[in-house]
Amino acid sequence: MIFSLTKENKNILVINISSSSVNCFVLNTKENGTKEISSSTHSRLPLLESPDFKHIERHTKKAIRELSEELYKNYPAFKPGVVFVVVSSPWYSSETKVVKVSRKDPFVITKDLLEGVMADEVELFLKKIGKNSSAAAEEMEILDKEIMRFVVNGYPIKNPLKKTTSELSFSIYLSAVKKNFLNNLQETLSHFFGSAEIKIVSEPFALYKILSEMVNSEEGFLVVDVGGEVTEVYLIRNGILEDVKNFSWGENLVVRRLASSMKVELGEALSFFKADNSGDLKEGMSEKIAPAVEGVCTEWQNFLSESLSEMGKNVPLPQTLILLGGIAGSDVLKKCVNSPDFSSFTILGKPFNVVTLPPESFESKISFSGVDKDKMTTPLLLALGASRYAEKV
């Protein structure tokens, strides 16, 4: 049996919605605290020459429904306690902001004060989205609204409630998604898994929470997640998710350029690319696809450089860079991100220390026997994040 269904165990369904795929996997947390990914299902969205957002959204909704229905029909006894959904770009908008409250006379920090300030910031955030995108404020729904760090009278503090001060500042992370997309997602999941607790979060916040337990978040690190259509860049420093950038460059662009260079169909180019990444390409073929891959890599470097330049315009960036995504293990991509050209952005003035977190590095934290290890790093991170959330509900 794929799923452990005893009452002592808690099944968690984790769904990762990216720019080019929907990945569902079941995490079983046992009473003794051990965790195991017992099933994984992946749906890749159609690969087209010129994708657009409406095309991606339509096929994403279809994939979510089909994968949910497959689980429901094939495993009728499967009842997840939690459905933990993580949305990547382009599904969310986000912002990190430092909010300051300063008064002439000392004041007591209360829950009502914090909630009032947060409500104001949410309203401002939604209005900002309305100005900077095609979505009006009323068309958006808040996903995450989290306070990450308090500073009272110039000193960091974990719990400021009931403290008296004349100056308070705190860092908040806000994210939002289109209401119609969110409503469709919730309706689909409720239909198939009605009794489950449904939690939907943005990928930057989900990865920030779990990676901060694994890497020194005070010293800081960057996360570069290369998706199918979009690359996302997150800056974690001083214990907060400081900044998020993204640009329209991903694995699919490499495949499209490869197809054009080799004069083959997209499906065949995708097969060549996968074989090259896994080291299974026939002798002599690597030399044929190298020019296309190298050319796209140079373009990716330029986009990444723009994001890093904005992130590091005031303070040099951390030395550690965590590379995620389906092509994170690609030697070409590692070479691109480790380029000396990025040295000017780092705190030591040297190339980034690139970390790829192979699936084997998670063996002490989570078991995934019987599941294909290919492209498992991000699912494993999200599974750990899901388990942390499930422990609290």
Amino acid at 257: R
b/e sequence 5-39, b meaning 16+ C-beta within 10 Å: eeeebbbbbbbbbbbbbbbbbbbbbeeeeebbbbb
pLDDT at 9: 53
Nearest to 389 by CA among 32, 80, 56: 80
Q: What are the phi and psi torsion angles at 156 (to 5°)?
A: -60, 140
Amino acid at 314: N
pLDDT at 242: 96
Can you tell me which residue has the tokens 């770009």? 89
Binned at pLDDT 50, 70 and 90, residue 1 comes out as very low
Q: State both tokens at 146.
A: 């989290």
Instruction: Give the model confidence (pLDDT) of 214-267 as tens digits.
Output: 888 788 999 999 888 999 999 999 999 999 999 988 888 888 888 887 888 888
Q: How far is CA 175 from the centre of its chain?
A: 12
- Residue range 10-91+179-212+359-390 forms a domain whose CATH class is alpha beta
CATH numeric code, 221-355: 3.30.420.40
Instruction: Give the model confidence (pLDDT) of 298-332 as tens digits.
Output: 888 899 999 999 999 999 999 999 999 866 556 66
Strand partners, 99: 170
Res. 83: pLDDT tops 90: yes
DSSP type of residue 45: P
Q: Same CATH fold, 221-355 and 10-91+179-212+359-390? A: yes
Q: Which CATH number fits domain 93-178: 3.40.50.2300, 1.10.569.10, 3.30.1490.110, 3.40.50.2000?
A: 3.30.1490.110
Q: How far is CA 374 from the centre of its chain?
A: 18
DSSP H or E segment with residue 173: strand 164-178
Model pTM score: 0.90
pLDDT at 173: 97
For the ranges 7-16, 52-61, 246-255, 271-280, the maximum mean pLDDT occurs at: 52-61
Instruction: Give the model confidence (pLDDT) of 336-379 as tens digits.
Output: 888 899 999 999 999 999 988 888 888 888 887 656 665 678 88
Res. 8: pLDDT tops 60: no
pLDDT at 6: 41
Least-confidence region, from 64-68, 194-198, 207-211, 287-291: 287-291
Res. 17: pLDDT tops 50: yes
Helices (H), the chain: 53-74, 111-132, 179-192, 203-211, 251-262, 266-278, 285-311, 331-337, 377-390
Amino acid at 9: N
User: What count of residues does the chain have?
Assistant: 393
Domain boundaries, the chain: 10-91+179-212+359-390, 93-178, 221-355
Q: State both tokens at 98.
A: 């430092």
Res. 281: pLDDT tops 70: no
pLDDT at 279: 63
Res. 174: pLDDT tops 80: yes
Q: How many CA atoms lie within 13 A of 313 on its CB side?
A: 6
| Average pLDDT, rounded, for the chain | 86
Least-confidence region, from 39-48, 122-131, 217-226, 312-321: 39-48
